[in-house]
Amino acid sequence: MTLTADNITTLLADQDLLVSAPEFDGEIQHLAYNSNDVVPGTLLFIKGNFKAAYLTDAIEKGVTAIVAPANFKHDTNLPTWVADDVPAAMSIIAMAYYQYPQNSLALIGITGTKGKTSTAYMAYEILRAYTHDKVALSSTLQVITDNNPESHYRAHLTTPESVDLFRWMREAVDNGMTHMVMEVSSQAFKMRRVYGLHFNVGIFLNISPDHIGENEHPTFEDYIQHKMMLFDHSEQVVLNVDTDHFGELIEHAELTVPRDGIWLYGQEDADSPKADVYFEATDANLHGSVFKVREVGQQAEHLHINGEYTLDMPGDFNQSNALAAMIATRLVNADAPAMAEGLETVKVPGRMQVLNTKEHGTIYVDYAHNYASIAALLQFVRQNESVNQLTIVVGAPGNKGVSRRPGIGKAVSEGADVVYLTSDDPQYEDPAKIADEIQTAITNPKVTIYRELDRTKAIASAIQAAGSDDVVVLAAKGLDEYQKIDGVDTPYENDWAVANRIVSELEF
């Protein structure tokens, strides 16, 4: 794949992103936004905290040209496109370089403060059943461009940088994929990772304060505005009537999407706003649930998804997510039998994984990482387990999501008996200070607080102290096999592996 200089100039000019173009008649044979990824023939995008020293490295590796903001200073004769918005330019150029792979995919985008990953895997499994394994996935946990293991990649961002995203989309199309499910974060819109990308269906699960801080969204209003950009870039939208701020959300959706393209869903409840499709739990246990789906009105009856479904995940929040996935996949042609098959078999790596022990109670491993998700998880455990003592091991990331730290403390106050405050991707921050911020918000005097910043030791202590009628929740890290420390992905055993190892050492 190649792009000419004229191609690039035209692409940027058409989007009103071009400030100036170089006199250059060569071809671009590779795209990169990191000097480590440069090879001869590369167009390098200068974005973020790109230091001039990185360009020296790129020149040594054979960079051909750059796209840079007006304020980037360099003493080279490299052909340079100056762009008003480099991340937006990168997305526009990347989709063209990879020959617009999105046009060959039925594309579902999912946003929400909690539940994106679970919903993505539900939609993915439904579409796997419907298409016979011709569906790609881009999630917080992994990117899948084919059913073969070599086409499964570890994710580093909820939504990849545009160059990576369109490269994976092209790979998926070349592998014969016809559908794609992807998580779309508010940061993806704010940082222009999906600039110019349109979705066949957009799912909006819920909204609550999160990702508010110096390096993310300055205010909740900024957060919700970027979340709602999914409406602006979707042909049809699926919206939860039970979410906070529903009035603001539906008002925005109706400005950009025709009413017959808006699909409302919610829990069967007389107090809920009117929905097109409702769900109601009919049976539940610690490992799964059964729920009924009811369509209301002429528009909803075209879905043909009425009936009872078995979900291999517990909790009414997961039934809600399942209904969102059902509606969205139906809008890209999946049928009810595929939904039944997908939901009955869906597994989300690191989500609601349960380890039953002989002497140390029940251990839950989950990616819950903010107030909404941790509070829901602890409430679920209280409702479904006979708990003598509920312990949680939790921390918070450094240099992002600062606003979620008090929320984590609040959730602990409301739902736990014991907490071990520990490390969770501290990056460049002191994990002890992060723990301080969480601890300040733990106002319930009945909660026993321990601090152990070595995460493995914290998990070991929590499990060792648990009795046969206790529950230990390991929150936020799931199956992550690294800790982000000082900018380095430092190997970490992962919560599930640590728990299994500790239990085997204690009980055998």
Ligand-binding site membership of 114 (annotated): yes
| Distance (Å, whole) CA 374 – CA 366 | 9
- Is 35 labeled as ligand-binding? yes
The helix/strand/coil state of 145 is coil
The residues, ordered by sequence, that sit 6+ positions from 83 with a Cβ below 8 Å of its Cβ are 12, 17, 18, 19, 67, 68, 69, 89
Residue 403 marked as a ligand binder? no
501 labelled ligand-binding = no
d(CA 396, CA 21): 44
Structure tokens at 247: 């009035």
**119 marked among binding-site residues:** no
Q: Both tokens of residue 398?
A: 């450094």
Place of tokens 């001869």: 40
Residue type at position 271: D
Known binding residue 154? Answer is no
Residues contacting residue 148 through CB under 8 Å, at least 6 positions apart: none
- Confirm whether residue 159 is marked as ligand binding: yes
| Residue 193 marked in a binding site | yes
Residue 185, marked binder: yes
128-160: string of b/e by CB count within 10 Å (b at 16+)? Answer: bbbbeebbbbbbbbebbbbeeeebeeebebbbb
Rounded to 10 degrees, what is the CA torsion of 143, 145, 149, 153?
-30
- For residue 10, what are the contacts with CB-CB under 8 A and spacing of at least 6? none
CA atoms of 333 and 123, how far apart (whole Å):
12
Q: Are 437 and 406 in contact (CB under 8 A)?
A: yes
Bridging pattern class, strands 289-295 and 277-284: antiparallel
Per the structure block, which two tokens stand in for 11?
């692409």
Give residues with Cβ within 8 angstroms of 410, minimum separation 6: 371, 375, 441, 443
Q: Is 456 annotated as a binding residue?
A: no
Annotated binding site: 35, 112-118, 158-159, 185, 193
Annotated binding site for ATP: 112-118
